[in-house]
Copies of this chain bind each other. A is one copy, B any other.
Amino acid sequence: MMRVLRRLLIGKPLHNRELAHEKLPKWKALSIFSSDALSSVAYGPEQIMLALVAVPSLVAYGFMGPVAIGILSLLAIVVLSYVQVAKANPEGGGAYTVAKKNLGKMPALVAAGSVFADYVLTAAVSVSAGTAAIVSAFPALAGREVTIDVLVLFAILMLINLRGVRESSNAFVIPTYAFLFGIIILIVIGIWKSVTAPYLLPPESLARQQLDWAMLFVILRAFANGCSSMTGVEAIADSVPMFRKPEARNAAITTYWMAGILGFMFLGITYLVMHYHILPIAEVTAMSQLAEEIFGRSAAYYYIQITTMLVLYLAGNTAYNGLPVLLSIVAKDGYMPRYLATRGERLTFSNGIILLTVAAALLIIVFQGNTEHLISLYAIGVFISFTIAQSSMVVHWNRERGKGWQVRALLNGIGATTTGLVVLIITITKFLYGAWIILLFIPIMIYIFTAIRGHYNSIADQLHLPEECYEKGAATFPEGKHIVIVPVSTTTRVVYETIKYAKMIGDNILAVHVSNNEETTKKVVEKWKLWDPGIELIVIRSPYRLLMRPLLHFIEKKEREKGPDDYITVIIPEFETRKSWHRILHNQTGWFLRNTLIWRENVIVTTVPYHLKE
């Protein structure tokens, strides 16, 4: 049953040789690797607005423009820095790999921890933002957001990724371009209308506020919120080997394209949000308000909402492309459980996929699918990994000292400093809003990473066969005695089978009967004599009617007497009932005995299976 269901949902196992390595043209790569970055315009401008309108009487709303400009400049710096990363790492690999190569173990683990958090949040934020887009269009769905989110995670993203899909599939290309097309039209028409139509009552005065410290704090928090738009920018640089030749150059060009589109859309949406004075409404996104303002509830409005949803779910999927691979790299280095490093039946890293789904679903459930709260956690992890990656590049250029290395080092140095500063800004302005969770999570992950690595190292040492074993060849095994103990309650077919097997595996057999009833014992001893299997039956009296303890005492005594190369095997005569409910009708002494003895180092427990027919 389970197997049929599994086949149906996941598909049949794939052969090793089916692991494909495909090369992507730029136009495909753009859509595939940028869905995360580009889709963030669906929530980024809204986040800036939310931070600013939180101030009483909306005094800070007018600062939206400057904040957007600040974020655009930051985007330019980050993109330029990442083009360097792409050029220097044609083999791909994210912040963890780059940091391990250039900065050493600790920064690499910090990067791993923050990227781990980042990917889980990408899945959680994108899926819940996608759901928010569709709920805005169809208010009847309101209140069921968490259910929809969890369904999308488990029934769509997890299953698709467990099956394994070619990243080059058109299913990933079309929604991104459809989304781009819609948003660009929206911006163009929106701006056209804003220019031609009579100007909406402009609360100009609002932006003319005194800039004091409290206001600066609010503006910085708006900036920190807006940084969530920049998550996913690193995706192209991490995937250089997927590009057609010349890989690094094509990746760089694609990155510029992506940054240009992202910048245009971000600026456009922000301008429109300001122009139309979009303010937060429960269960309706800013994008939805904007689209309604510009298109009315027309087909165009629904087009925007549906493509937004699709591209956001697709963005959630990028976490599935990234995290399982990262986990497998970290697991190969011994910092995560080994089974995260092996490909499953369908050549996907199934354990990592399941881990990601469960973690993202938990986040969504805990935060009740509230995009705003999730985004509070989001940017800090991303910018920590940005900072580490850029710093690694500085070390890298300094080490290589190729042509023009100073310029490159300077570029990455500026990138590292800026993103480091952003980490600081986010930490300060968003500490109580969730940043503390990530700042707590990263050290915990580092502790787990090192604990796991320590355990694997210790295991390897303990299991290692000493070198001399290999040197001398023809391994020798010391000779020892073999004592076989068979507990006997009465003479049955099971005991017959057990004694037969015992005679096969050893010469020194002890049949032991624990007596808690004189009469029964007398009968058993008589039967044993009649049957005469050639082994003496040792009787242990148990006046307290216990069965296990006297037997354990007997075995312990034998353990103390045995030599270091002797073995004691206890064979428990047991039968398997045909129906599992039958088992409750029999006492579980055998089961208890096995589970007690299995913890002893010097005793081997086994059972000769005897299956009842009826």
CB distance from A138 to the nearest CB of B (A): 42
Contact between B473 and A492, CB atoms less than 8 A apart = no
Task: State whether the Cβ of A15 lies closer than 8 Å to any Cβ in chain B.
Answer: yes
Is the Cβ of B493 less than 8 Å from the Cβ of A13? Answer: no
Stretch at the interface among A104-112, A206-214, A279-287, A500-508: A500-508
Once the chains bind, are A504 and B475 in contact (CB under 8 Å)? no
Q: Are A609 and B614 in contact (CB under 8 A)?
A: no
- Which of B462, B576, B585, B598 contacts A614 (CB under 8 A)? B462
B-chain residues with CB within 8 Å of residue A500 when the two chains form the complex: 477-478
Tell me if A485 counts as interface (CB < 8 A to partner B).
no
Q: Does A530 contact B (CB under 8 A)?
A: yes
- C-alpha gap A15/B600 in the complex (Å): 29
The distance in angstroms between the C-alpha atoms of A458 and B614, with both chains bound, is 7
Check B504–A482 contact: CB distance below 8 A: yes
A601 touches B611 (CB 8 A): yes
Q: Which of A20-28, A335-343, A435-443 contacts B (4 or more CB under 8 A)?
A: A335-343
Cα–Cα, bound, A454→B606 (Å): 30
Asked if residues B604 and A605 are in contact (CB atoms below 8 Å), the reply is no
> Which chain B residues border A613 with CB–CB below 8 Å?
462
Q: How far is the CB of A451 from chain B (nearest CB, A)?
A: 9
Chain A contact residues, majority secondary structure:
mixed
CA distance A493 to B16 in the complex (A): 31
For residue A557, CB closer than 8 A to chain B, the reply is no
Partner of A455 from the list B465, B471, B506, B585 (CB cut-off 8 Å) is B585
> Which of chain B's residues have a CB closer than 8 A to the CB of A614?
458, 462
Which of A51-59, A153-161, A539-547 faces chain B? A539-547
Q: Given A465-B492, A530-B470, A587-B339, does the pair A477, B506 have CB atoms closer than 8 Å?
A: no
Identify the closest chain B residue to A494 (Cβ): B463
Interface string of A437-466 (1 = CB under 8 A from B): 000000000000000100110110011110
| Interface contact A463-B477, CB-CB below 8 Å | no
Q: Which of A340-365 contact B (CB under 8 A)?
A: 342-345
Judged by a CB distance under 8 angstroms, whether A431 is at the interface is: no
Docked Cα-Cα span, A495 to B477, in Å, equals 12
Set B345, B456, B469: member contacting A585, Cβ < 8 A = B456
By beta carbon, the residue of chain B nearest A575 is: B463
Q: Mark A561-596, 1 if CB is under 8 A from B, else 0.
A: 000000101000001110000101111000000000
Given A338-B585, A609-B601 in contact, is the A482-B505 Cβ separation under 8 Å? yes
Say yes or no for A607: interface residue by CB 8 A criterion: yes
Name A533's contact: one of B452, B475, B496, B585 (CB within 8 Å).
B475
Closest chain-B Cβ to A69's Cβ sits at a distance in Å of 49
Known: A339-B587, A452-B585. Contact between A13 and B544, CB under 8 A? yes
- Docked Cα-Cα span, A310 to B82, in Å, equals 82
What residues of B have a CB within 8 angstroms of the CB of A604 in the complex?
501, 606-609
Q: In the assembly, what is the distance between CA of A601 and CA of B578, in Å? A: 12
- The answer to whether A567 touches B609, judged by C-beta atoms less than 8 angstroms apart, is no
Inter-subunit contact B345/A544 (CB<8 Å): yes
For the complex, give the distance between the alpha carbons of A236 and B455 in Å.
Answer: 67
The answer, yes or no, to whether A474 is at the interface (CB within 8 Å) is yes
The residue on B at minimum CB distance from A454 is B614
Could you tell me the distance between the alpha carbons of A17 and B614 in the complex, rounded to whole angstroms? 40
Contacts of A407 in B (CB 8 A): none
Partner of A15, one of B527, B531, B544: B544
A14 CB-CB contact with B under 8 Å:
yes
Asked whether any CB of chain B lies closer than 8 Å to the CB of A139, the reply is no
Residues 503-536 of chain A: 1 if any B CB is under 8 Å from the residue's CB, otherwise 0? 1111000000000000000000001001111100
- A599, CB-defined interface residue at 8 Å: yes
Interface membership of A140, Cβ < 8 A? no
Can you list 8 pairs linking A and B with CB atoms under 8 Å apart? A15-B544, A345-B545, A462-B613, A465-B491, A465-B492, A474-B532, A478-B500, A482-B505
Could you list 17 further interchain pairs (A-B, Cβ under 8 angstroms) beyond the known A337-B584, A504-B506?
Answer: A338-B587, A339-B587, A345-B545, A345-B546, A458-B614, A462-B612, A462-B613, A462-B614, A470-B527, A475-B534, A482-B505, A501-B604, A569-B606, A598-B609, A599-B609, A601-B609, A605-B606
Complex A-B, nearest 4 residue pairs according to Cβ-Cβ distance, in ascending order: A606-B606, A463-B492, A505-B505, A470-B530
